[in-house]
Amino acid sequence: MSEDLNCPKHTITFVTPTFNSEAWIDNYVASIKKQKYPSNLIDILFVDGGSTDKTYEKASQYGIKIIKNDLILGDPGFAVGAENATGDFMVFMGHDNELVQDNWIESMLAPMLANEEIMASFPHLENRSEDSWLTRYVNKFTDPGNHFVYEYANNPLTFGKCYRKLEENKSWVVYDFKVENHPILEFEQGFTIRRTGYSRDPSTWYCGIMAVLGLIKTGKKIAYVPVASNYHTTLNKGVLQFIKKHRWAINYNLDRRETFGIYKEKFGLKARKKYISNYRKFRIYFYPFYGISFVIPCIRSAYMLAKDGDREWIYHAPITFISAAIIWFEAVRIIVLKGKPITDRY
């Protein structure tokens, strides 16, 4: 039975892992404060992994509750935050996100209030004119490796090309997600979920996609809400920022040693490899050769630009080449030369 959206009564907790997040907090908070949803029903919870800047001071200025994240990293920060959240619904969102619409909360709650079988909802990412070409690419396609492996399952805007629709109206759609053909969905960009009935296996704490897979495995319905969107200022500092972040990600997929008190089998592709189809596994192993060739990505970019018309294909060849070069560099450094794991967070 649906509920009256004109009389909000449900409390919302925004759960955000932080680490040296000072520069993003003002815009993050402003986007929440502009919401039409009653402010007395909204609270924000920061889960901090050891900030050395003014993150704590900023949180205090805004009256934001901040707790320590002993597990340090962002993915387990969401799990820690969920265990401390008090809202009827939780919004998992990175510090570099901003809500676009002033009715974002109502839009995200709408499918769950209309259908109790829907456990969660997610928005899409929207680019601003001032965003860098790297930010525009990643917001549209995710990183080039995941984009190559997951193809149309990498972005909510193209889910309709690879998933059957179970339910649809003008405001949201529910797709028939399957574990063996799962999409790229994580908690970082405004994933909204009921607190009642929510549980997360500790084995998934270091991989956000695994958390969503846990919902899919248990038959939970998840709604895509195209009328709600986030700005995600992920790579506006340029190529060097991308290289640093990508090295971190590749390092955690290649290196199996202990860092931060945990073994890296719990991270990324290693964590979810048993849920990856043979077709996708082939593309994973082919990707480093595909990317380093440069010519093949150029041909593919031209073809896909003509086919889909997405301008982000213009950037595909250079960003893929950089990504593949990082993979080869880290493979030699970690596997062959037994170099030290990366511990400096991006």
The tens digit of pLDDT for each residue in 164-195 reads: 999 999 999 999 999 988 999 988 899 999 99
> 168 pairs with which residues across the strands?
173
Per-residue pLDDT at 264 exceeds 90: no
Burial class (CB in 10 A: 0-12, 13-18, 19+), 83: exposed
Residue 5 near residue 72 (C-beta atoms within 8 A): no
158 in Cβ contact with 124 (< 8 Å): no
**pLDDT computed for residue 270 by the predictor:** 73
CATH class of 12-232: alpha beta
pTM of the model: 0.89
- At residue 250, the pLDDT reads 84
Which H or E run contains 226?
Answer: strand 221-232
Of 12-26, 39-53, 62-76, the one with minimum mean pLDDT is 62-76
Q: Where in the chain is the domain with CATH 3.90.550.10?
A: 12-232
Lowest mean pLDDT among 63-77, 232-246, 262-276, 313-327: 262-276
